[in-house]
Amino acid sequence: MRQIIAGNWKMFGRLAEIPAYAEAIRSAPAHVDLLICPPFTLLDRFATALKGSPIALGGQNCHAAAQGAHTGDIAAPMLAETGATYVILGHSERRENHGETNAEIYAKAETAMAAGLIPIICVGETEMQRDAGEAEHVVRSQLSHSLPPRFAGIVAYEPVWAIGTGRTPTESEVAAMHATIRAALVAQLGAGGSAINILYGGSVKPGNAAALLALPEVGGALVGGASLKAADLLAIAVAAPGG
Ligand code: 13P
């Protein structure tokens, strides 16, 4: 399975940065699939800057409806029109800051797939849940309630306490959770569940990428802060196995 290295720019980035960034990431190694998820306002310009390259684009959210009276929201077909082929759904920052529920994420995933987008569904426990020994239960429950039965996309495991903190779970904790996610995906989706890339996210940096990406059932990374620097994202891509 080819690894996917996805950059989540969150609410960072301006138009003026795009030409130099796009030029730099064009030199990404060919053994990984590279994907950038910038703010909505940058997608169109990014699509132009990356024309002719294999680098893909994604949104960071979409509405559960394909269109409608929803001031301030973006619909999946609108994302697809910009050239985006992926969309991140259920990121913990959206679950926390916008009260997104598993049921909403499920509905968004269906709408995204109908628009031809590949959803990247994020799951992950809080520090309190991990300390209470509930991490695997929480993640299994998020998977069973937020993935539609015909889910064809990507899952990202992002422990909430590892996001933007510089802390990561131990390698054995990551491997154990990814094995749990794989088993849950196969139980839920049948054979299709074994073909899904499971990304690790949460403080992935050039310095820890090789170790994290080499773990069993880790199919790539969802990178926040480090993706804002083209050189760091490239270093993470180079560290992925298969090169
Ligand atoms: P950091 O890489 O900044 O920890 O962010 C991870 C993340 O939330 C990616 O979606």
CA distance 8 to 226: 9
74-108 b/e (C-beta count within 10 Å ≥ 16 → b):
bbbbbbbebebebbbbbbbbbbeeeebebebbbbb
SS3 153: coil
Q: Which of 223, 227, 236 to mutate to test the pocket of ligand 1 (most atoms within 8 A of CB)?
A: 223
The string of pLDDT tens digits covering residues 162-214 is 999 999 999 999 999 999 999 999 999 999 999 999 999 999 999 999 999 99
Mean pLDDT of 232-240: 98
pLDDT band with cut points at 50, 70 and 90 for residue 5: very high
Mean pLDDT of 49-72: 98
125 is catalytic: no
Cβ < 6 A, ligand 1 pocket: 8, 91, 158, 163-164, 201-204, 222-226
| Token duo for residue 3 | 């690894």
Atom of ligand 1 nearest to the CA of 225: 3
Q: Which residue has the tokens 């990247």?
A: 120
Atom of ligand 1 nearest to the CA of 156: 10
pLDDT reported for residue 243: 77
Question: Residue 27: which residues within 8 A CB-CB, separation 6 or more?
Answer: 234
Give the chain's domain count.
Answer: 1
pLDDT reported for residue 210: 98
The string of pLDDT tens digits covering residues 9-39 is 999 999 999 999 999 999 999 999 999 999 9
CA of 93 relative to ligand 1 center, distance in Å:
10
CA dihedral 189, 193, 199, 201 (to 10 degrees): 30
Name the E strands within 23-101: 32-37, 56-59, 86-89
Q: Which residue range(s) make up the domain with 131?
A: 3-239
pLDDT exceeds 90 at position 68: yes
CA of 68 relative to ligand 1 center, distance in Å:
31
Query: Cα–chain-centroid distance for residue 193?
Result: 17
Q: Which residue has the tokens 């529920």?
A: 101
The string of pLDDT tens digits covering residues 112-168 is 999 999 999 999 999 999 999 999 999 999 999 999 999 999 999 999 999 999 999
Considering 93, 104, 158, 217, which one is annotated as catalytic?
158
The string of pLDDT tens digits covering residues 79-102 is 999 999 999 999 999 999 999 999
171 is catalytic: no
CATH number of the domain bearing residue 156: 3.20.20.70
Atom of ligand 1 nearest to the CA of 93: 8
